[in-house]
Every structure is written in structure tokens, then in C-alpha cells.
Structure 1
């Protein structure tokens, strides 16, 4: 499966306006996209490019249908996972250090183990804040009031109350107002407690962005050269 060139080309749009300038130190580095979504897309595209190359060296390609054990092993790794992080919420996340996905992450982030540990922690900061909120005594009391409010007068309690009833009871019980106050405050506290991982996350992501831009630039130049080549 071939990658679309649109995202790589978009990452180089600024260079099209100024030209591929060079300095005494060498060619200028490709400009990075401004928006976070575009930056995520750039990293995802570069990672997919690296994965496709890795699989191609093994005679494999990502297919849209079916599950091929050989392909899954080559992509995600084999055997027991070597990496493991247990979160404050109690959940454990694992990953392999072999496989094409791990190799692509090493290429982009420089240190796959460090990126895995940091990303898992940062991706679950909101879940950690929500767990603290659920353990708050005031929140638990409001949840109990909401449960009593939303319970039907007769018959068994449904697995999920009617959305209109649930929203009305959230207001009456004070649960909605308490959640709106507690969640952002707890998230800010959790982020402050994980300042180190957040800093590392930003540093590694910046490295991946620059590496992804370089990869896409090289790929775009090669594609352009091949398209414009002639034979005599």
C-alpha cells in the first residue's frame, strides 16, 4: 500500500515560497507545519513510510483485509513484550522493541523505550485526573445523588438512563457543576506533577517532527527527480 504524497508535500509548502535556500552550513532544513493536527499528520505519515520500507525489505506489505501472523509479527514484534508501564490508574501498557513499528519509532524519536514510557504517561494524564475526581468525597456524594435521581420509580434500573433524565439529574444533584470545577483543576495538578515527562514528550516529539520533515523532503525530491527524468 503506497503512501499519499499530499502530507509530505504540505510540510514543504513554505519552501516553495522562499526556494530551497542554502547557507554556509548547508541546505536549510524543511519548515515544520504550524498546526498541531498537521504536525501529527506529518509524524504519522513519516512513521507509515518507515514501516512500509521495513516491511518491503521482508517482502511484506500492509493489506486492507485479513490477518497474516507473519505480517503481524513483522509489524508489531514477536514473543513477550519487552516494554511495560503501569499507570497510576492501575492499568499496564506493554510494547515490543522489535518489529517495524518499533524500528520506525527509533528512527523518528531516537529512543523508542524513552518515547514509549513518556507517551504512555502523557496520554493518560486525563484518565489519572478523572480517577482522582471519582475518588473525591464530594464527587462520590454527588454521584450517589445522581443515581437516586435517575433511578426509575418502579421496575429495574436500566443499564443507561434516558439521556434527558441523566442530564436533568446531573444538574439537580450538583454533579455537572462539580465535574466542571474539579476536572480542570485536577488535570492541572496532575500535569504539574508530571512536568518532567511532559518536557521529555515535547522534546522527543520535536525531534520526530524534524526527522519526519527531512524524510518527507527527501522523498519528495526523489519523486520529483524521477518524474522529471528522461531517457535518451
Structure 2
């Protein structure tokens, strides 16, 4: 009995020593920088989409290899990746622009895995991504901006209702300076953008919450993929 007990103690000690010496995988943390976080989310989404497509016998092609939409192969890829119309999600912005998306397809599946509620994420992301466009649309109705825009068009020799885009950067710079348009925009935009962000704070809060959830899930996916 003593011999057996001694062997057992030695065996346990050996196992404990082995466990102590074996390196343990360190779970990665969410990166601090916004660009690094964006890269993490893109990589996680791509990994999920790739896995989804693989289950259908498809791969994510490069831009050069991507099949044309008109071909049967292209239509199959588009349906698997983006889903089949009609598009179930739709949001019309204050600018008048409407954004739509599918709830089926590998991209939608990946977003559900990362963000949980695809509809909430879709609406929050669309609003947040267009905050500046909404502020600029409001700026276009400001009397000072309209007057400066009229001077700009006269300077550039255009009569269109929207700002033209001269090919010569020197013309743009000169007219921005002479018309005062750049000065007016630099004064109006921060105030209008702050106002828009305040009015859309509910969507901004949802965006931040779902993004935080997605970042942690992306980290977990990365950790799981690297685990032996």
C-alpha cells in the first residue's frame, strides 16, 4: 500500500508539474484603436461569411475572379452572399436616400452572429454612417450657405443647382476662398453635426452597444480559431 501510495503521489506531482510547464493560450482583448476594431470586425465577418459560403460549396473570390452577376454562377453567388430579393430591411433617411438590405444570405447570417439583432444593427449603422450627410443637407438650406454657393458657382462658371466638381484643384481652391464657401461650411458644419448627433442619440447608443457586443464576439471567434 505504501508503494502504491508513493507512486500515486509522484504521478500527481508529475501531472501538476506538466500542467505548470505547459503554456496556456492567452485570450486576446478588444483592441483600443478604432481602426484596429474596424479591422477586427471586418475579419470576423469575412470568416463567418466564408464559412457560410463553404457550406454551400462556394468560396469568396477575389475582385478579379468574382463571377459576373449576369451569369448563372454569378447569380448563385450573389444569392448566397447577399440573399434573395425582395429586400426585407429598408430605411429612408432624412436626406431622402433609401437604404435596403436582405435578411437572408451569408452576409445577414454573419451580422446576426456578431450583432445579435440584424434589424437593429442595420438601422443604427445606416443612421450613424449618414450623420454627416444629414448635417450637410441641413447646411444647404442655410441662407449664408446658399449665398456662398451662388458666389462659388459664379466663380467657377457653373449654373447648376448642385456644386460642380471642376477637374482643376486650383479652381476649386480659389473659388472656395473667394466665395467664402469654405469659411461658411467650417462654421456651420460642427454645429449642425452636433445637433444631428443629439437628435439621433438613441440610434448612436444602440450602435455603440451592438458594436461593443460584436467586438467581444469577434475576439472570441479569433481566439477559438487559433485554439489547438
The alignment's TM-score, normalised by the length of structure 1, stands at 0.79
Give secondary structure in 1 for the equivalent of 2:140: helix
Structure 2 CA distance, aligned partners of 1:161 and 1:54? 44
Larger radius of gyration, structure 1 or 2? 2
Change in CA separation of 1:151 and 1:161 when aligned onto 2, cut-off 3 Å: farther
Q: 1:124 to 1:59 in 2, by over 3 A?
A: same
**Which residue of the partner structure matches residue 52 of structure 1?**
50
Counterparts of 1:200 and 1:129, CA distance in 2: 20
Give the deviation of 1:19 after TM superposition. 5.8
Unpaired runs of 5+ residues, structure 2, are 1-22, 69-73, 159-163
Matched, 1:145 2:151: yes
Write out per-residue CA displacement over residues 102-152 of structure 1, whole angstroms, 9 at most, x where no aligned residue. 000000000001100110010000000011111111100111111122229
Cα distance change of structure 1 residues 161 and 62 upon mapping to structure 2, 3 Å threshold: closer
With the length of structure 2 as denominator, give the TM-score of the two structures.
0.80
Unaligned runs of 5+ in 1: 1-17, 22-28, 153-157, 226-232
Partner SS state of residue 29, structure 2:
coil
Q: Retained in 2: the 8 A contact 1:150–1:161?
A: no
- For 1:77, the equivalent position in structure 2 comes to 83
Match of 1:171 among 170, 174, 177: 177
Offset from partner CA, 1:50-105 (integer Å, 9 cap, x none):
11111111111112212321111011000200000000000000000000000000
Alignment of 1:47-196 (within 5 A): 47-64=45-62, 65=65, 66-67=67-68, 68-151=74-157, 160=166, 162-196=168-202
Query: How many residue pairs align between the two structures?
Result: 193
1:220 matched residue in structure 2? 226
2:165 and 2:127 map into 1 onto residues whose CA distance is 32
Q: Report the Cα distance in structure 2 between the residues aligned to 1:209 and 1:92, rounded to whole angstroms.
A: 28
- Pick aligned residue for 2:210 from 183, 204, 211: 204
